[in-house]
Amino acid sequence: MMDAFFSPGSVAIAGASKSLMKLGNVPIDNLLRFGYQGRIVPLNPDGGEIMGLRAYPSLEDVEGSVDLAVAVIPRENICSFLDSCGRAGVRNAIITAAGFADAGEVGASLQRDVEAAAKRNSVRIMGPNSIGTINTAVGFVTSIITLDAMPSGPVSVVAQSGLFAAGFARWMSSSQCYGLAKVACLGNKADISEMDVLAYLEDDPATGVVALHTEGVEDGRSFVDLVARVSLCKPVVVVKPGSSEAGRTAAQSHTGALAGSHEVFMGALAQTGAVPVGDFEEMFDCAKAFAYCPLPAGNRLGVVSVTGAGCSLAADACEARGLTVPPLSRESLRYATEGLPAWASFNNPADIWAAIMAEGNAGAYYKLLHAMASQDDIDMLLAVFTIAPQFEFDVAGVIDRIRVEFPEKPVLTTVLWGASDDSRRWFESLEGARIPMYPSIERAVAAAGALNRYSSWLRRQR
245 residue type, one letter: E
First to last CA, the chain: 32
In this structure, the strands spanning 209-213 and 236-239 are parallel
Residue closer to a second copy by CB (options 284, 290) is 284
**Paired strand residues for 158:** 184, 212
CA distance 167 to 147: 9
Nearest to 291 by CA among 153, 452, 428: 153
**To the nearest whole angstrom, how small is the minimum distance from the Cβ of residue 25 to a second copy?**
12
Sign of the Cα torsion 9, 12, 17, 23 reads negative
SS (H, E, C) 348-362: CCEECHHHHHHHHHH
In this structure, the strands spanning 411-415 and 152-159 are unpaired
Q: DSSP letter at 51?
A: T
User: Quick one: how far is CA 249 from the chain centroid?
Assistant: 25
For 53, 67, 188, 225, the CA distances from 57, given in Å and listed in that order, are: 13, 17, 28, 45
Residue closer to a second copy by CB (options 414, 455) is 414
Q: Name the maximum alpha-carbon separation found in the chain.
A: 85
Helices and strands, number each (H, E), in the chain? 16, 19
DSSP states of 294-341: PPPSSSBEEEEES-HHHHHHHHHHHHHTT-B-PPPPHHHHHHHHTTS-
Residue closer to a second copy by CB (options 161, 452) is 161
**To the nearest whole angstrom, how small is the minimum distance from the Cβ of residue 357 to a second copy?**
8
**Residues 6+ away with beta carbon under 8 Å from 22:** 15, 16, 72
**To the nearest whole angstrom, how small is the minimum distance from the Cβ of residue 88 to a second copy?**
27
Residue closer to a second copy by CB (options 213, 409) is 213
Burial classification of residue 51, based on how many CB atoms lie within 10 Å of its CB (0-12 exposed, 13-18 middle, 19 or more buried): middle
**To the nearest whole angstrom, how small is the minimum distance from the Cβ of residue 108 to a second copy?**
11
CA distance 59 to 409: 54
Strand order in the sheet with 10-14: 39-43, 10-14, 68-71, 92-95, 124-126
- Which H or E run includes 461? none
